[in-house]
Amino acid sequence: MKHVAVFGAGRIGRIHASNLAALPGVQLDAICDPSAEAASDLAQSLGAKVSTIEAVLADKQIDAVAICSPTVTHSDLITRAAAAGKHIFCEKPVDLSVPRAQACAEAVKAAGVACMIGFQRRFDPTFNEASRRLAAGDIGNAEMLIITSRDPGAPPAEYIKGSGGIFRDMLIHDLDVFRWILCADGDEAAWLSAAGSVLTDPAIADLGDYDSTAVTIRTRKGRLCQINTSRRAAYGYDQRFEVLGSKGLLQCGNQTPTGVVQSDASGVHSDKPEAFFLQRYAAAYRLEIEHFFETLQSGGVFRTTVADGVAAQKLADAATQSCQSGQPVAL
Amino acid sequence: MKHVAVFGAGRIGRIHASNLAALPGVQLDAICDPSAEAASDLAQSLGAKVSTIEAVLADKQIDAVAICSPTVTHSDLITRAAAAGKHIFCEKPVDLSVPRAQACAEAVKAAGVACMIGFQRRFDPTFNEASRRLAAGDIGNAEMLIITSRDPGAPPAEYIKGSGGIFRDMLIHDLDVFRWILCADGDEAAWLSAAGSVLTDPAIADLGDYDSTAVTIRTRKGRLCQINTSRRAAYGYDQRFEVLGSKGLLQCGNQTPTGVVQSDASGVHSDKPEAFFLQRYAAAYRLEIEHFFETLQSGGVFRTTVADGVAAQKLADAATQSCQSGQPVAL
Amino acid sequence: MKHVAVFGAGRIGRIHASNLAALPGVQLDAICDPSAEAASDLAQSLGAKVSTIEAVLADKQIDAVAICSPTVTHSDLITRAAAAGKHIFCEKPVDLSVPRAQACAEAVKAAGVACMIGFQRRFDPTFNEASRRLAAGDIGNAEMLIITSRDPGAPPAEYIKGSGGIFRDMLIHDLDVFRWILCADGDEAAWLSAAGSVLTDPAIADLGDYDSTAVTIRTRKGRLCQINTSRRAAYGYDQRFEVLGSKGLLQCGNQTPTGVVQSDASGVHSDKPEAFFLQRYAAAYRLEIEHFFETLQSGGVFRTTVADGVAAQKLADAATQSCQSGQPVAL
Amino acid sequence: MKHVAVFGAGRIGRIHASNLAALPGVQLDAICDPSAEAASDLAQSLGAKVSTIEAVLADKQIDAVAICSPTVTHSDLITRAAAAGKHIFCEKPVDLSVPRAQACAEAVKAAGVACMIGFQRRFDPTFNEASRRLAAGDIGNAEMLIITSRDPGAPPAEYIKGSGGIFRDMLIHDLDVFRWILCADGDEAAWLSAAGSVLTDPAIADLGDYDSTAVTIRTRKGRLCQINTSRRAAYGYDQRFEVLGSKGLLQCGNQTPTGVVQSDASGVHSDKPEAFFLQRYAAAYRLEIEHFFETLQSGGVFRTTVADGVAAQKLADAATQSCQSGQPVAL
């Protein structure tokens, strides 16, 4: 039985805590959150106790922690948890600063603990099957990747202010998908060009950020990746990618709440995509935390690491720089 | 907290037991099965104890039982559980004999306990949304229902022997869907005609059964329903229905394990339907047992009852008779 | 160069005349219609002359006639055209009376002329490809056929009065599809049961007809066919079939005017099916008339004959009788 | 009656000549081609005569010419035809040199003749419906356009040598779609970045060309466009675009030869896209030539002009320059 504590009882903390609590062989011991009420509500509903970070890190019984607190706290908590010998599951990003993220990687390595980063797209059953087939050679050599990533609506300005910008906040996932899908054989980004606009809300421009972006990456092997992103898709959360290979194409489309198709005098109608990430990636969240504990148990290889977090962060930095300067970045 | 025991640790018993065990507010106390090993394995994996039917029925702490044992045991267990004051969730069918099924309905009524029958299709999110829209008038008045119901492969002859025949064993679900969808406003079957063939395995004919059937039902209000069924669909478990209304059409298609679409020199390829009922109705099984306990708690109305089981059984009897005689049956 | 005349300048006459006029190797000489204006308009637009049936049949230059006049005139015109040694393309049905249709078959045979019946579904590229694959064994042996055939709206009562009823007027096509798809290896209908209702307009009941029907056919080899039909589909002309074989399934869905998919706050929307038969079967009409002249030229085998017309008519009679009596018909 | 001659009896010349010959109110008089055999075959099959460019331009009866000869001849033929007072339909591109293309525009203007460029995508029924809905405001303001344009296989090296490179030869169509869809309100490209690779055949690199490209364009209004292109899609001719607006999304997918869907033990299979442009844009070719003559007749506005040809050519030049330099181009 592995004992675990969750840091953060917000939206994503509640998801991970629930999934943890339902895992056989895992005991959710404690919830920590600055809001006593949030911590208490979540702990009670799952049969865990409320605790503090200090107490958790000092508790010899605790094997692992899940860091679901705000981004600014991640690197500090990773470093302290590693020092305390706890295995770590940490939500993305590692840190908005690449050097601090790299420091985390070193701290984890030095402590000899596991640290997995929550790139949940890698655990989505559909995306994962595409990755599997690509690796199996079903469509030959990968040549191009097209990623469509659109949120249903922009977050509040307050959130954007501390987000590090759309490339570090939102595209971090897509940049990780690029690495996962197109660089699985050791290939790497060589050239990146990004363009951005503000088309939905001038307040976003006032914060120096973008709501619509178009990124192109060329790898060392000449593969091409295009990512298109918007903070606002009126029809919901749009999460697709397709990879072209020398022998074919793999496409991963959106998922819908139901499969009902209605035909009437105005046309043929089906469901919009799942509303947002909690719904769209519900299975992925379950499978990712299951993978974390299975791999802790088996001693196998974790499918995401701090190094993946650092690498995606570097690409996000490059995209930010390219978009602001209007010039491509060599990597 | 509701305490519950599960009778039967086979395929469907394991599904219901796992779902029960994960429900907040529900405590899975005991598993009973003639196979000590099956009972013990399941009990252990879910933190329950092994028990006997007698002990469970005598246990004042137990609020409810889930009957997941073979069909032949259903009516006896329903009657005994009702007499012991336990609420009952029972897998379909109530009983292969309509009079015995009716006796169960009376026993349940006399005891004042709840008894819900496991017509899981009514809890499938897609089917359920179609039902909701129909009730909301989104496609006007229902006029026609077309049900496609095909298994991936015939069960062993041994199973068929005790199954009551394809209409009672397999179409029972489709006949319930007919009642649920087309008779929601109090309409009823008035005329039924069934045809059947053996096209897959002569052994099925030797048992006096069919593997391919075509049923037509006309309701009192003149609505028409066609059900086509096969024991063998080479491409998997095919579960669809569509309902035509005066203002439009609602279609419920198959579900697939993943959404990957592969295009290559030989065409555009997507997943086969989910393999069989455990996969296809996984969400429905969760939602149905959740509904059972929520309704016990709230005192609300159960979405399926013994009366539904009896009504479907009568239609299955009529279909059997029509198919054997080659003549329609007036209801 | 083959010379041809068209009898009838109505909706379907105009289609066939235009397609004829565009065929290389075919010269559209004359149009005949009781309405001088209709004949003249059509003739002028296609560079043909207006003529009379008598003159056309007496004209030694004319090789073939296309009979596109009202149903009641078909058998008379077939007989006369055959006697005059003209090859014949005739719109369905041959005649509403089976004996008269059989007399046509004999007249055609005696005259040694070709006579093809306009079962245009057999020339639809999608339906045709399904037929080809079935014949090629791609899904093994055919076991079940499900046909969905729904018009966008009922014709005027005046039309229905002379139509011979829904089975002879509308299902004649579907009954021909049944024979084409499920009886391609010489199999034949053995048992037929039909049910019908009036759900759209009581005036249809006053005429002794139905607007909604459900037909089941069992063949000598035990194959099953279900046909569901409605005079009114609010969402347009619904023309689908699927055939289940021992190794798979072939499905033919609807066609749409465009492929635009629109996603917005209310869902994901695509086109309704093509409006009605002229649009849906536009390619089929072209290909069928092309086949007629190619086969005349090559001396090959016509894909539909008067015998097919007679056979479909017999099934339509049986369906009418079954629906009215509530009893199945043995064939 | 408009009299017309076709210059060029190759693949595309044959298409246009056939479509012309079938148009009411249009008389195809003459075919000109350096290959006497090609000219004669085509002329004979369509009832036209073989002629020479000189004779056609001198013939006062000829109202219009369709230029379907190789790209290098376009600007010369446009200039001469304009000087001879003939209206002109010219296949894309106007000329590989922007100055020469501009000279054509001036020659046409000076002569007061019509000159329409064969950007057939603008006449595809599906693309056209998307354009119509966008203009109607159905998805609000256009924000992003994603174009996928992949050929089934690279042309022979000999062709590539004289093609002007992939941007001028293949992306010219996509760049015109960009202008048509995203700049319909007078917006214009402001910034363009292109990346390219050779992934299919090193011979293409030897010619200084690319087979895989990724273009991003930012307009003055901040709209973003991404175009991904490959010379080789193993699954056929892939022609899609989608436009994101403030209120929704419009998607135009591929078209298929038939609508048959086959389900079997290996999955669910549908047709590959149409093989190549002659099949994919068959309807567009018909509609484009129809528009040309209708507009000549009505005196209305042509949907494509030499100016569109020049504008697309400028974008192709910019993309070529950006791809070769690795730097974006300001427009």
Q: Do B268 and D270 touch (CB under 8 A)?
A: yes
Chain C residue with minimum CA distance to A270? C268
Element (H, E) at A121: none
Would you say residue A289 lies in a domain? no
H-helix or E-strand spanning residue A104: helix A98-111
A137-163 in b/e form (b: 16+ CB < 10 A) is: ebbeebbbbbbbbbbbebeeeeebeeb
- The minimum CA-CA distance between A247 and chain D, rounded to whole Å, is 5
Mutate to test the interface with D, among A139, A187, A244, A250 (most CBs of D within 10 A): A244
- Cβ contacts below 8 Å, chain A against chain D, sum to 118
Q: Are both A65 and A147 inside the same structural domain?
A: no
Closest CB from D22, D139, D252 relative to C264: D139
- Residue B261 sits in the same domain as residue B141: yes
CB within 8 Å: A272 and C272: no
Rg over alpha carbons for chain D, rounded to the nearest Å, is 20
> Which two structure tokens, joined as six digits, stand for A125?
């059953």
Written as six digits, the tokens of D194 are: 């292109």
Token digits of residue B192 = 């039924």
Q: Is the pTM of this model over 0.95?
A: yes
- Region class of A287: left (phi > 0), else alpha (psi between -120 and 50), else beta: alpha
Q: Which two tokens stand for residue D106?
A: 């001036």
Residue B147 resides in a domain: yes
Distance between CA atoms of residues B276 and B218, nearest Å: 30
Q: Among partner residues D22, D133, D258, which is closest to C129 by beta-carbon distance?
A: D258
Contact across the interface for A146 and D143, Cβ inside 8 Å: no
SS (H, E, C) D5-23: EEECCCHHHHHHHHHHHCC
Rounded Cα gap, residues C17 and C46, in angstroms: 8
Q: Look at residues A120, A125, A319, A135 and name the one whose alpha carbon lies nearest to residue A243.
A: A135
Q: Nearest CA of chain B to the CA of D230: how many Å?
A: 15
In this complex, the residue of C143, C212, C249 whose CB is nearest that of residue B143 is C212
Same domain, A231 and A127: yes
Distance CA D324, CA D193 (A): 11
* Number of CB pairs, chain B paired with chain D, less than 8 A apart: 43
Q: What is the mean pLDDT of chain C?
A: 97
- Cβ-defined contact of A248 to D230 (cutoff 8 Å): no
Q: Which two tokens stand for residue D85?
A: 């007072």
Chain B CB contacts of D267 under 8 Å are 235, 269-272
For residue C325, give the 3-state DSSP assignment: helix
DSSP string, B187-242: --EEEEEEEEE--S-HHHHHTT--SEEEEEEEETT--EEEEEEES--TT--EEEEE
Interface contact flag, B199 C248, Cβ < 8 Å: no
Least confident of B155-159, D182-186, D237-241, D271-275: B155-159
Counting Cα atoms < 13 Å in the Cβ hemisphere of C126 gives 23
| 8 Å CB contact of D148 and A144 | no
Structure tokens, D191: 């910034």
Tokens of A310: 């650092």
Please report, rounded to a whole number, the percentage of residues in chain C having pLDDT higher than 70.
100
Q: What is the pLDDT of residue C22?
A: 86
**Bridge partners of residue B250, in order along the sequence:** A262, B243
Contact present, B2 and B23 (Cβ < 8 Å): no
- Integer Cα distance of A20 and A9 in angstroms: 13
Bond before D257 cis per omega within 30 degrees: no
Please say if the pLDDT value at position C157 is more than 90.
no
Predicted pLDDT at B22: 86
Q: How far apart are CA C80 and CA C96, in angstroms?
A: 18
Do C7 and C66 form a contact (C-beta atoms < 8 A)?
yes
Chain C: closest CA distance from residue B92 (Å): 27
pLDDT given for residue A186 in this prediction: 96
Q: Tell me: the pLDDT tens digits for C78-116?
A: 999 999 999 999 999 999 999 999 999 999 999 999 999
Q: Identify the pLDDT of residue D217.
A: 98
pLDDT bracket for residue C185 (50, 70, 90): very high
Q: Which amino acid is located at D85 in the chain?
A: G
Element of type H or E holding A16 = helix A11-21
At residue D240, φ and ψ (nearest 5 deg) are: -135, 155
User: Residue range B107-123: average pLDDT?
Assistant: 97
Alpha-carbon gap, residue A147 to A127, rounded angstroms: 12
Is B272 in Cβ contact with D235 (below 8 Å)? no
Looking only at Cα atoms, what is the longest distance across chain D? Answer: 66
Tokens read off for C124 = 């639809």
Do residues D252 and C270 touch, judged by C-beta distance below 8 A?
no
What is the pLDDT at residue C89?
98
pLDDT exceeds 90 at position B147 = yes
Residue A247: strand, helix, or coil: coil
Given a cut of 50, the residues of chain A with pLDDT beneath it are none
Residue C281 distance to chain A (closest CA, Å):
20
D94 in any annotated domain: yes
B117, B133, B150 — which closes off a domain? B117
Sign of the alpha-carbon dihedral angle for B273, B278, B282, B288: positive
pLDDT digits (tens, 9 = 90+) for B267-288: 999 999 999 999 999 999 999 9
D163 confidence band (pLDDT: 50, 70, 90): very high
User: Is residue A16 a part of any domain in this protein?
Assistant: yes
From D113, D145, D165, the end of a domain falls on D113
For the purposes of burial, counting CB atoms within 10 Å of the CB of B58, is it exposed (0-12), middle (13-18) or buried (19 or more)? exposed
Closest CA to A28 of D323, A13, A37, A36: A13
| Residue owning tokens 């590539």 | D160
The tokens of D243 are what? 């436009």
Contact list in B for residue A252 (CB cut-off 8 A) is 259-261
pLDDT at D157: 87
Closest CA to D172 of D181, D161, D164: D164
Tell if the CB–CB gap between B269 and D267 is shorter than 8 Å.
yes
Residues B75/B104, Cβ–Cβ less than 8 Å = yes
HSE-up (13 A, CA, CB side) for residue A7: 27
B252: amino acid identity, one letter: C
Neighbours of C5 (CB within 10 A): 29
Which residue, B56, B87, B117, sits at the end of a domain?
B117
Q: What is the pLDDT of residue B24?
A: 83
Q: What's the mean pLDDT in C47-60? A: 97
Of B84, B314, B110, the closest CA to residue B192 belongs to B314
Q: Is B313 part of any domain?
A: yes
Say if B292 falls within a structural domain: no
- In terms of domains, do C101 and C219 share one? no
Among residues D204, D206, D213, D207, the alpha carbon closest in space to that of D154 is found at D204
CB distance A64 to A86 below 8 Å: yes
Domain around B82: 2-117
Minimum-distance CB partner of D253 among C129, C261, C262: C261
Q: Nearest-CA distance from D49 to chain C in Å?
A: 17
pLDDT tens string A191-234: 999 999 999 999 999 999 999 999 999 999 999 999 999 999 99
Residue pair C152/C174 in contact by the 8 Å Cβ criterion: no
Q: List Cβ neighbours of D151 (8 Å cut-off, separation of 6 or more).
A: D170, D230, D231, D232, D233, D237, D276
Mean pLDDT of C234-244: 98
Sign of CA dihedral A230, A234, A237, A240: negative
**Which CATH number goes with the domain that contains C16?**
3.40.50.720
| pLDDT tens digits for range D178-231 | 999 999 999 999 999 999 999 999 999 999 999 999 999 999 999 999 999 999
Cα–Cα dist A128/A124, whole Å: 6
Residue D292 inside a domain? The answer is no
pLDDT digits (tens, 9 = 90+) for A175-191: 999 999 999 999 999 99
Enumerate residues 6+ apart whose C-beta is below 8 A from A282.
none
For residues A204 and A198, is the Cβ–Cβ distance under 8 A?
yes
Are residues A134 and A113 part of one domain? Answer: no
Same domain? C316 vs C189:
yes
pLDDT confidence bin for C138, thresholds 50/70/90: very high
Count interface pairs A-C at CB distance under 8 A.
43
CATH label of the domain that carries residue D126: 3.30.360.10
Report d(CA A128, CA A122) in Å as an integer.
6
- Bridge partners of C87, per DSSP, are C64
Whether residue B268 and residue D271 make contact (CB cut-off 8 A), yes or no, is yes
Residues A109 and A128 placed together within one structural domain of the fold: no
Of A138, A252, A260, the CB nearest to B250: A260
For residue B157, is pLDDT > 90?
no
Q: D55-71: per-residue pLDDT in tens? A: 999 999 999 999 999 99
- DSSP, collapsed to helix, strand or coil, labels residue A158 as helix
Q: Which chains have 3 or more CB–CB distances shorter than 8 Å to chain A?
A: B, C, D
A202/A105 same-domain check: no
Hey, what are D193's tokens? 């970045």
Region C30-36 average pLDDT: 97
Predicted pLDDT at A22 = 86
Work out how many domains chain C is built from and give that number. 2
Q: What is the structure's pLDDT at D22?
A: 86
- Whether A191 and A164 map to the same domain: the answer is yes
What percent of chain D clears pLDDT 90, i.e. is strictly above it? 96
d(CA D292, CA C314): 51
* Minimal C-alpha gap between A256 and chain B (Å): 10
Q: Closest Cα of chain B to D170: distance in Å?
A: 22
Question: Which chain A residues are closer than 8 Å to C234 by Cβ?
Answer: 263-265
D84 and D222 co-located in one domain: no
D161 with D206, same domain: the answer is yes
The answer to whether the Cβ–Cβ distance between C216 and B214 falls below 8 Å is yes
Residues of chain A contacting residue C272, judged by C-beta atoms under 8 Å apart? 263, 265, 267-268
Indicate whether A178 and A311 sit together in one domain: yes
Percent with pLDDT over 90 in chain A: 96
Q: What is the chain C residue with the closest CA to D243?
A: C262
D294: in domain? no
- What per-residue confidence (pLDDT) applies to D92? 93
B25, B297 contact by CB (below 8 A)? yes
